[in-house]
Amino acid sequence: MYNSSLLVIQKLLSTNAYLGHRIPTSDFQGYLYGFRNEMAIINLEKTLICLRRACNLIESIIRAKGHFLLVNTDPEYNKIVQQMAKRTNQSYINHKWIGGFLTNRKHMKNVQKHFQNFSAHSKFKDASTSSPFDFFPHFRKMQKCFEGIMTYDIPDCLVIINANKNSMAILEANQLQIPIVSLVDSNISNRLQKLITYPIPVNDDSIQFVYLFCNLITKTVILSQSAWPLSRKPLSRGRRP
């Protein structure tokens, strides 16, 4: 157990996951190892503990045949998140969070169906013809926000890559008492940190760590799915036809 933990911490070190900001927020102090050259150093042993707690939650959700929603608004991580979502058959948002996505679910279901129908129509229309929507860039942006949504059901958990950029998603999930797994950097506001059920203290600017984190969640999901009885693997819940 000790050796495996040491190997994981060595991997975390190689991703610069320990690098914090110059002025960490007060509630984050408990996750710090100390300071070096006036920069906060995150305690990776605590990061590892938080990663295990988050993976245990994901495992329990998948074993119960639930699902989670990946939330990312950093273009640099789009491809990583999209690949992870496809491998695990989970929903994702790679663009701006739309207010009311969770708390105004009835309206959002109608909006999702609208974009789904329009997308299906667009695939089969003659390339030489144009739609009135082609002239509205805002419509296209909205369409991108829904392109990764696989189900109309409320997620059992949110997995957030960049907490500071997704405060609205955190507030909505907290209002509905949906568990939140989120990477939290040392500059996260005290208000947001208190709302995150499963915080993972880490340098969220490290693309290497984000890749490692997504790979870890992917493996957790695949292993949990393999535990389903072969005769009882579920049909997709509310999936798009």
Q: Where are the domains of the chain?
A: 1-103+147-226
CB burial of residue 127 (10 Å; 0-12, 13-18, 19+): exposed
**53 vs 95, higher pLDDT:** 53
66-75, 102-111, 209-218, 219-228: lowest mean pLDDT where?
102-111
Kindly report the average pLDDT of the chain as a whole number.
Answer: 85
Give the phi and the psi of residue 41 in degrees, each rounded to 5: -115, 120
Position 45 scores a pLDDT of 94
Q: What is the pLDDT of residues 125-153, one digit of tens each?
A: 544 455 544 545 566 667 777 889 888 89
pLDDT at 28: 95
> Quick check: 229 pLDDT over 80?
no
Mean pLDDT for the stretch of residues 75-81: 94
What type of residue is 114? H
User: Contact, 160 vs 179, CB < 8 A?
Assistant: no
Q: Does residue 236 surpass a pLDDT of 60?
A: no
Least confident of 23-32, 61-70, 121-130: 121-130
pLDDT score for 227 = 81
Please say whether the beta carbons of 142 and 85 come within 8 A: no
**pLDDT digit string, tens, across residues 155-173:** 999 999 999 999 999 999 9
Predicted local distance difference test score (pLDDT) of residue 88: 95
CA angle 104, 57, 196 (to 5 degrees): 55
Q: What is the pTM of this model?
A: 0.83
Under CATH, what is the fold of the domain 1-103+147-226? Answer: Rossmann fold (3.40.50)
Tokens of 119: 């997308």
Q: What was the pLDDT predicted at 231?
A: 41
**pLDDT winner (highest mean) among 6-20, 49-63, 104-118:** 49-63
3-state SS, the chain, equals CHHHHHHHHHHHHHCCCCECCCCCCHHHHHHEEEEECCEEEECHHHHHHHHHHHHHHHHHHHHCCCCEEEECCCHHHHHHHHHHHHHHCCEEECCCCCCCCCCCHHHHHHHHHHHHHHHHHHHHCCCCCCCHHHHCHHHHHHHHHHCCCCECCCCCEEEECCHHHCHHHHHHHHHCCCCEEEEECCCCCHHHHHHCCEEEECCCCCHHHHHHHHHHHHHHHHHHHHCCCHHHCCCCCCECC
